[in-house]
Amino acid sequence: MSYFQSIEKIKYEGPSSRNPYAFKFYNPEEKIGGRTMEEFLRFGVAYWHTFTEDLSDPFGIGTAIRPWDKFNGMDLAKARVEAAFEFFEKLGVPYFCFHDVDIAPEGRTLRESNQNLDIIVAMIKDYMKDSKTKLLWNTVNNFSHPRFVHGAASSNHADVFAYAAAKVKKGLEIGKELGAENYVFWGGREGYETLINTDMKLELDNLGRFFHMAVDYAKEIGFDAQFLIEPKPKEPTSHQYDFDVASGYAFLQHYDLQDYFKFNIEANHATLAGHTFEHELRYARVNGMLGSVDANQGHPLLGWDTDEFPSDLYTTTLAMYEIIKNGGLGRGGLNFDAKVRRGSFTPEDLFHAHIVGMDSFAVGLKVAQKLIDDHVLEDFIAERYSSFHEGIGLDIVEGKVDFHKLEAYALGLTDIKHTSGRLELLKATMNQYLLRAYAGE
């Protein structure tokens, strides 16, 4: 049975195509910087937003029309797997990602939930045999159910800590079974609302213990996925322990976990933290901690996590600049943790949404590679920091001076000459490169 009968396989037709069901910029076979777009971009479909999401929001019920919604319970879960693999095939996407509860309904007990998972995981494994689409990462949802009202690994209740551990244990087993390349930990409710009822030190220590147990269990079962922390500063709690990359990195170092984890960086979470997407990518990259990306964008006028499909080419260009400079994402990828708007409720909209996301990152890749090939930013930045390439600057970088020597040097200074940062010139140059990519130059 087909769930997307009217839609053919999406092909690359080039920038001048008017076919809404075609890629204009994403050409999987086109080589950029020595790698094909498909190899470099490693796109993933988020199971929850595409097959489970009903498009409800805090003000209204779901609007999504999904051909599989005529089913219920485990039949619905099975129909979603069929729909998912048809979607992956038609979109030509190399990866997908899921939480445990996206693929199978929770049972009345943990044992029953695990049995439901076993049935669906076996079905997914079967579909994966005939599919090119692989599992980029899986995770477990330790935040939606009321048992997680006060958190999971950072809950005040030890029984919840144990329950959360049992779910992650199962998640790691599923990841191994399906060959996941990464395993993600998003904090969910790992944070707090107010300090007046919170033992912060115990919660942080427990989180550290929890992650060590996960590392140990993955080793025990021979699951060699890259572990990823996904920072988010707020929502659902007012204070999340994994606020951003910098605080997450400090946490990992404090609990001696930095060798086992990298970061899965989401664009909308970066903006919620008061950062740009590229800031988070850069901070992770320069510390050797960039693992994977949740490719989406927030709404510039709304202060919450809207998870829109990426369409802002300026941002995708700066993001791909960081990813190219990182030498790619390794085992990571660009997972569309993005949902169609509540008003875009038809099955066709799922294709349009992924097409704009994939095309936007393809443009970003092309423009960023051209900027790098032409040394546009590198030459400017090298010149801007040239005072550290010789003389006193080189002595500073090489650790040859102390405050005594620097004071002696500073006392001899008469006039410090600055050069312009040329922000507007560089922005104009960025625009020039973006527009040349449109023109196919």
Q: Is the Cβ of residue 151 or residue 310 nearer to Mn ion in the bound state?
A: 310
Q: Which of residues 305-364 bind Mn ion (CB under 5 A)?
A: 305, 307
CB closer to Mn ion out of 163 and 336: 336
The H or E element spanning position 182 is strand 182-186
Residues in a beta bridge with 46: 97
Residue of 49, 100, 102, 307 marked catalytic: 102
User: Residue 64 is encoded by which pair of tokens?
Assistant: 């999504």
Give whichever of 182 and 296 is closer to Mn ion, judged by the CB atom: 296
Give the CB-nearest residue to Mn ion: 305
Residue 242 found at the interface with Mn ion (CB under 5 A): no
Residue for token pair 């709404």: 299
**99, 269, 275, 354: which one is catalytic?**
99
Residue 134: its H or E element: strand 134-139
User: How far is residue 41's CA from residue 94's CA, in Å, rounded to a whole number?
Assistant: 9
d(CA 347, CA 350): 6
Whether 374 is a known active-site residue: answer no
Q: Is 53 in the site for Mn ion (CB under 5 A)?
A: no
First to last CA, the chain: 43
Outline where DSSP puts E strands in 218-302: 226-230, 239-240, 261-266, 290-294
User: Minimum Å distance from CB 337 to Mn ion?
Assistant: 6
Smallest separation (angstroms) from Mn ion to the CB of 280: 13
> Of the ranges 159-167, 208-216, 267-275, 366-374, which one interacts with Mn ion (CB under 5 A)?
267-275
| 102 a catalytic residue | yes
Under rule CB under 5 A, residue 141 binds Mn ion = no
DSSP H helix total and E strand total for the chain: 16, 14
What single DSSP character describes residue 308? B
- Whole-angstrom distance, CA of residue 353 vs CA of residue 368: 22
Closest approach, Cβ 236 to Mn ion, in A, equals 11
Task: Please state the closest distance from residue 307 (CB atom) to Mn ion, in A.
Answer: 4
For 214, the 3-state DSSP assignment is: helix
Binding residues among 286-315 for Mn ion as defined by CB under 5 A: 305, 307
Taking the complex as a whole, the smallest distance from the CB of residue 141 to Mn ion amounts, in Å, to: 14
Q: In the set 226, 268, 335, 369, which binds Mn ion (CB under 5 A)? A: 268
Residues labelled as active-site residues: 99, 102
Binding site for Mn ion (CB under 5 A): 268, 305, 307
